[in-house]
Structure 1
Amino acid sequence: MVWFVKIERGIVNKSTFDQFVPAHVAYVNDLIAKGHQAKTGYWAERGGGMLLFQASSLAEAEAIIQADPLIQNGCVDYELHEWHVVVE
């Protein structure tokens, strides 16, 4: 499995965004249960965050991202990057 990082920037107001946070948390918990070692969080200054996860390919990573309720509901713009771990 390869590590991927989704860096996101919120594009809706907080009350709209917050409606989809429970579904996003459930989605991340499902990724964890499926072995993707997902971790998610937001920047302290607000307005964006990051999802770190493993996938077998860029195509699978993109499919995983498209299933995120924050993406499906137009709450964030994102960049997806393959991440090469140098030191663990």
Structure 2
Amino acid sequence: MAWFAKIEAGIVDKKTFDQYVPDHKQYVQELINEGHEAKTGYWGEYGGGMLLFKADSLEEAQAIVKQDPLIVNHCVKYELHEWCVVVE
């Protein structure tokens, strides 16, 4: 499995964003339970964050990201990148 990074920036107000955070956290926990080794967090400054996870392909990674409640509810814009780890 390869690592992927979804780098996101918020596009809605904090109140709207915050209402979907519990669903996002549950979604990430489900990814962890499925073996994707997901980790999620936010930037220290307002307005975005990152999701790291493993997937078998870019196509699978894209499908995973499209299920994120923050994407489904149009709370963030994002970029998806394969992250090539050089040191573990």
Q: Is TM > 0.5 for Structure 1 vs Structure 2?
A: yes
Partner of 1:67: 67
Matched letter for residue 60 of structure 2: E
Mark the runs of 5 or more structure 2 residues left unpaired by the alignment: none
Partner of 2:50: 50
Mark the runs of 5 or more structure 1 residues left unpaired by the alignment: none
Q: Secondary structure at the match of 2:3?
A: strand
Instruction: Report how far residue 57 of structure 1 moved.
Output: 0.2
Instruction: Report how far residue 46 of structure 1 moved.
Output: 1.8
Q: TM-score, normalised by structure 2?
A: 0.99
Q: Secondary structure at the match of 1:30?
A: helix
Partner of 1:23: 23
Alignment root-mean-square deviation, CA:
0.3
Matched letter for residue 67 of structure 2: A
Runs of 4 or more off by more than 6 Å in structure 1? none
- Between the aligned residues of both structures, percent identity stands at 69
Q: TM-score, normalised by structure 1?
A: 0.99
Looking at structure 1, the residues matched to 39 and 46 of structure 2 have their Cα atoms a distance apart, in angstroms, of 17
What whole-Å deviation, never above 9, does each CA across 1:31-80 have from its counterpart, x for those lacking one?
A: 00000000000000121100000000000000000000000000000000
